[in-house]
Amino acid sequence: MRVFVAVDPPRGRALEEDLEREGAEVTGAADAATLAALAADALVGGRAVVDVDALTAAVREADILVLQADRTTLTADTVALCDRLGVRIVPLCATESDERLSAAFGLGPALPPDAAAWQVLEAAARVPHPVDVTPRAALPGVIAVWGPAGAPGRSTVAVELAVELARGGRHVALVDADTHAPSLALSLGLADEGPGFAAACRQGELGGLDARELTRISIPLSSGGVDVLAGINRPSRWPELSEARVAGALTVCRTWAEHTVVDVASSLERDEEIVSDLDGPRRNAATLAALRSADLVVAVASADPVGIARFLRGYTELRATVGTTRVAVVVNRLRPGVLGIDARGQVRRALDRFGGIEDVWFLPMDPRSVDAATLAARPVADVSPRSPFSAAVRRFVGEAVVPPRTAGESRERSGARDPSAPVTRTRRSRRAA
C-alpha cells in the first residue's frame, strides 16, 4: 500500500518510519497546512494558479492520504483534490469537532492523532475506493450567479460574465432562472414573450429537449457567442420552474454550450417545506436546483455596509446549500464614498473576520458605463469596451473562471512567484535530492 503522510512533525516523521516498518510504501510527506494551501491554489483558481499535475506530483502516486484533520487542513479543496486523483483519506482527528467535520465530508471513521501505524493501515483497508475517479473538466460547465437581497448587481455581473466568457470563441448560454424578479430580457432589450427557459424546462420534463431545441428557443445576443434563455415574463409563473425541471434543463445545457451562466434569485429559504409536507411546487426550487447543479457559484456582494452585512448573513446559508462546490466572491460597486479610506481593505477584513472569506475580487463603481449600457439595452462590454468595470470582470474571468493553463502563463500575467515551490519541501523531494 502506498501512503502519503500529511501530518505535522515530529509526529509525521515518526509515523512515516512506523508505516515503512509495517511494510507500507511512503511516497512522500508534507505538513498538513501546506497541502491544504496547495490544493486551494490548484482548484479554487486564486491569484497564484499552478498546473494541477505539477502541484499534485507528491500525492499522485499514493493510494492513501493520512491527513492531520482540522478546520484549516480538511477543506473542500483538499477533499476535491483527492477525489480527483482517486486517493482515499484517513483522517487523524484530535477533537470531537474535527471528527464531526470529517463525518460531514463523508470520510471513514477518524483515528486519534497518536494512532499506531498498524491501526492506520487497517483503517485504510476499510476505506472504500471512490466510485468515480475520472478527472472532472477543468472549466466549470454551469456557473450560478447569486447575491443577497438588495440588488447587489448579480444580473449585471451575470451578463458581463457571459460576454467575457464568449470572447475566447466559446459558446455561452445565459439563463434567467430568477422566479422572483427576472430581468435579463428587459435589461438586454429582448422579447420576454417567447418560450425561454420555462419552455426548456417543460420540454426537458417531456424528454424533447436537445441542443437543436435549445438553439430554437434561445435568443442570440448581437455581440455573438451568447445565447439567452429568457426568464418568465410574470412572477406568477414560478411553478413552471420546478426543481426537477430546472436540474434537467441545465443538464442538457451542458451538452449545448461550453459554459452556462445562470442568474438566480436571492432567496434560499425553504419555508414551504415547513408549512406543508405535500409534494407541491416550491417558490425557491429553481434557485436551489441551479445552485446545486453548478460547478462554480459566483456570489455577488454590494460594497457598502448594508450590502456586506446582508451578504454575510446569506453566505452561511449559501454554503450550506452548495456544499463543497467552489464559491468565488465578487464585491460589486466598490467606491470610497460609503466606506471611507481603504475601502478595499475594509471589505477584505470584514469578509475574512466574519465569513472566513480570503479570496475576493472587486468590481469598481462605474456609473457612466453602466448607465450607458442600460440606456442602450446592451452589455457594458459592448457599449464601453474600455470601461473599468468590464476590465475588472475580464480579470475575474481570467483568474477565477478560466485560469491560465500553466504556472508560467499565470506568472507572466500576474507577476506572481511560482507557488509550486512548497512541493519541493516534501519528504519525497528530499529523498530525490
Q: pLDDT, tens digit, for every residue of 5-38?
A: 888 888 888 888 888 888 888 887 777 777 777 6
Query: 2-135 in CATH: which number?
Result: 3.40.50.2300
Task: Give Cα 73 distance to the centre of its chain.
Answer: 18
Beta bridge partners of 146: 299
Q: How far apart are CA 38 and CA 425, in angstroms?
A: 12
Q: How far apart are CA 226 and CA 379, in angstroms?
A: 11
- Three-state secondary-structure class, residue 248: helix
Q: What cell does 348 get? A: 477584505
Beta bridge partners of 176: 263
Q: How far apart are CA 168 and CA 180, in angstroms?
A: 32
Q: What per-residue confidence (pLDDT) applies to 307?
A: 96
Q: How far apart are CA 247 and CA 262, in angstroms?
A: 12
- Name residues of the chain where pLDDT drops below 50: 42-52, 54-55, 131-137, 405-433
Q: What is the pLDDT of residues 349-369, one digit of tens each?
A: 999 999 999 899 999 999 999
Instruction: Please state whether beta strands 2-6 and 360-364 pair in parallel, antiparallel, or not at all (unpaired).
Output: unpaired
Q: What per-residue confidence (pLDDT) applies to 32?
A: 78
Integer angstrom CA distances of residue 433 from 24, 122, 428, 429? 22, 32, 9, 6
Backbone angles phi, psi at 75, to 5 degrees: -115, 170
CB distance 194 to 218 below 8 Å: no
Residues of the chain with CATH 3.40.50.2300: 2-135
Q: What per-residue confidence (pLDDT) applies to 131?
A: 42
Q: How far apart are CA 171 and CA 63, in angstroms?
A: 38
> What single letter denotes the amino acid at residue 392?
A
Q: How far apart are CA 304 and CA 122, in angstroms?
A: 53
Q: What per-residue confidence (pLDDT) applies to 330?
A: 97
Q: What per-residue confidence (pLDDT) applies to 128?
A: 63
Task: Give Cα 326 distance to the centre of its chain.
Answer: 2
Residues of the chain with CATH 3.40.50.300: 142-401
Q: What cell does 306 get? A: 448594508
Residue appearing with cell numbers 509550486: 420
pTM score of the predicted model: 0.63
Q: Where are the beta strands (DSSP E) in 108-209?
A: 142-146, 172-176
To the question of domain 142-401 being in CATH 3.40.50.300, the answer is: yes
